[in-house]
A and B are shown apart, each in its own frame.
Chain A
Amino acid sequence: MAERLLEIRDLHVAVGETEIIRGIDLTVDRGTVHALMGPNGSGKSTLSLALMGHPKYTVTQGDILYKGRSIKDLGPDERSLLGMFLGFQYPSAIPGVSVANFLRNALMARHKGGPPLTPAAFKKLLDDAIRRLKMDPAVLGRYVNDGFSGGEKKRLEILQALVLQPELEILDETDSGLDIDALRIIAEGINAQRGPERAIVLITHYQRILNYLRPDVVHVMVRGKIVKQGGPELAQELEAKGYDPLIKELVEA
């Protein structure tokens, strides 16, 4: 029996007065890959940001359990240190802070109290990740996301995941805006991270990346609720027919 990593129970999330997530139940086991799909504005990013603890998104009802423990009152830093990772749909720029420096600090935060990471080990970790994603090593000296192209930003998110080795990886449209080669490379990067210990939740609009990743479960979200679940064939069906039939079904029901 696979171990449960994440359990979302009747989750409601609001921004200010507006409720955006309106009752979601979702469980994610270690070793599985989930795809989360749904039309623009359905609340996918909101869910991912709420899971990571963004202060603007308030949990108004329900709970989030991670490794069996409620995390809804923890800060984003604590959630990160517990092994959660969010690949942002819109990553922020940090001018003046190099990618290498950023990652060193993120790793140091993880090694507090433990043995420090040697410069050699750090360098190897970075070099391996850079090579795997076929990135230009010069990126390490650039300022985080500062002046990065859309595709470069997405690659940097995956680079961070490779370096930080989270257990739960939520990737919000990491496949958007990538050229064909980049998509394959990134998909390979994500695939390389699959393993019995880790779970991946992939938010996407496209079938293409799912061809590479073969999700175990596909969830469809509409207006703040998960309205349908299925296997990989569900994604293919959506790709062919769009969301309309599904929404119609909902309205009629």
Chain B
Amino acid sequence: MATKPELLVDKDYKYGFHDENVQYTFKARKGIDHDVVEQISRLKNEPQWMRDFRHRALDIFFSKPLPAWANLELLSKIDFDDIYYYMRASDVEGRSWDEVPEEIKRTFDRLGIPEAERKFLGGVTAQYDSEVVYHSIRADLEAKGVLFSDMDTGLREHEDIVREHFATVIPPADNKFAALNSAVWSGGSFIWVPPGVRVEIPLQAYFRINAENMGQFERTLIIAEPGSFVHYIEGCTAPTYSSNSLHSAVVELIAKEGAHIRYTTIQNWYKNVYNLVTKRALAHRNAHVEWVDGNIGSRLTMKYPSVYMVGEGARGDVLSIAYASEGQHQDAGSKMIHAAPNTTSIITSKSVSKGGGRTSYRGLVKVYPGCDGVKSNVRCDALLMDPASRSDTYPTMEIDAKNVRIEHEATVSKVGEEQLFYVMSRGLSEVEATTMIVNGFFEPFVKELPMEYAVELNRLIALEMEGSVG
């Protein structure tokens, strides 16, 4: 239950946190209260402002209701008392390979995922060892003055930058899950790109992933100073297994004047996971933010990457795909907030539902008064593989300005009998033909991915069509 933050002052003494030499032993336990939050913050040796922030956020979490949209039936099944809110590397390493579900192991096999990665993705090691690659990239970035670390390190080493920007894009009160993340966050990435610097290679969470980064409540903050460019990629195509059922990240992007940020995600959580993520970007004058967002896994995903265009000439793009098979619901979309004149947004959403899976597009385009010259284009295409599957669109437009051009187009198609017959008449089996058609449908997304991701994603879809992936 919620306790008042003031009471916590006593606990400093009780736990001996003031003594640097005392080895504090954290015992992972289920459930959430101010005590757990305090422990997390103490363990990380955080500054007081962050600790206060966490406690405030927890109160907000307790006071906020669950979101009333998407899928209340599934949401209400989340048991907040049955979740570990913080786990350290040693907790993760105590798990065994035997606990990883068979179908995940099979998928690793068929995707050809290397041994070291399997252990990590299967949640049995806390570290994925790719230090060699990482070091050379690191040196290159350092020479340019780019900061790239996990969020905890970022806070420790660059507190001033973090404090100035942290939670300015997504305050804890934004929604229940953002509040929860704010209270218990751990890991995630911190990136700061100096003015005018272009980072030509994509920065991948992969190069420095550890249990916390890929954990339940990671927190990412990317700041691109004026005129800079960075592309960040998180996730991978192989399924990520977690014994915890709730993943709730917060991702904040700040693109200053003329900066360009591209953020690519491939979400493939195991199908027991609730993936409730808040992603938002602030785009200043002439800045450009792109979200490239793929959702394959999880039981329920609720994710609406947004761009708040606050400076004239800013631009926001979202290109997303969602795939839902039996028992899955992907509720994804985007919010484009035009708060300055002559801003442009493009939302392209593609979804495939199969075997009774459900996808929904939920989107908002908002144009504030006085924002003339806004252009927005929304396009949603849904592909249904069978009559049991479902797809819905919930587009909202709030347009309070004149001289704007807003376009919205939505299509729902079924994998046509004619199309399937055409491909099969060239010798492809039904599974091969279906895979080809679905991969073709996702092609506009896949071609935006780096090669190795594109190849794996195509293979993953082939596995899904065979129905051999859990």
Residues of A within 8 A of B (CB): 52-56, 75-77, 79-81, 85-86, 88, 91-97, 102, 105-106, 109-110, 143, 160, 164
Query: Is A110 in contact with B421, judged by CB distance below 8 angstroms?
Result: no
Query: Is B428 in contact with A92, judged by CB distance below 8 angstroms?
Result: no
Residues of B within 8 A of A (CB): 416-419, 421-430, 432-433, 436-437, 439-444
CA distance A92 to B416 in the complex (A): 9
Query: Is B427 in contact with A56, judged by CB distance below 8 angstroms?
Result: no
Q: Can you list 22 A-B pairs, Cβ within 8 angstroms, ordered by A? A: A52-B425, A75-B424, A76-B421, A77-B424, A77-B427, A77-B430, A81-B427, A86-B425, A88-B422, A92-B421, A94-B422, A95-B441, A96-B439, A96-B441, A96-B442, A96-B444, A102-B426, A105-B426, A105-B432, A109-B429, A160-B426, A164-B427
CA distance A93 to B413 in the complex (A): 13
CA distance A102 to B432 in the complex (A): 11
Residue of A nearest to B437 (CB): A94
B441 contact set on A, CB distance < 8 A: 95-96
Query: Is B423 in contact with A94, judged by CB distance below 8 angstroms?
Result: yes
Query: Is A109 in contact with B427, judged by CB distance below 8 angstroms?
Result: yes
- B133 CB to closest chain A CB (Å) equals 28
Q: Other CB < 8 Å A-B pairs besides A56-B417, A92-B423, 7 of them?
A: A76-B424, A79-B425, A86-B425, A94-B436, A96-B444, A97-B436, A164-B427
A76 contact set on B, CB distance < 8 A: 421, 424-425
CA distance A105 to B425 in the complex (A): 12
- B384 CB to closest chain A CB (Å) equals 16
B442 contact set on A, CB distance < 8 A: 96
- B451 CB to closest chain A CB (Å) equals 15
A143 contact set on B, CB distance < 8 A: 440, 443
Residues A75 and B430 in contact in the complex (CB < 8 Å), given A80-B425, A91-B422, A92-B416: yes
Residue of A nearest to B446 (CB): A96
B443 contact set on A, CB distance < 8 A: 95-97, 143
CA distance A105 to B422 in the complex (A): 13
Residue of B nearest to A95 (CB): B440
A80 contact set on B, CB distance < 8 A: 424-427
Chain A to chain B: the 7 pairs with minimum beta-carbon distance, closest first: A96-B440, A96-B443, A97-B440, A109-B427, A80-B427, A92-B422, A106-B426
Query: Is A109 in contact with B422, judged by CB distance below 8 angstroms?
Result: no
- A238 CB to closest chain B CB (Å) equals 29
Residue of A nearest to B381 (CB): A95
CA distance A250 to B101 in the complex (A): 70
Candidates A52, A55, A106; contact of B428 at CB < 8 Å: A106
Most B CB contacts (10 A, CB to CB) among A79, A81, A95 go to A95
- A47 CB to closest chain B CB (Å) equals 15
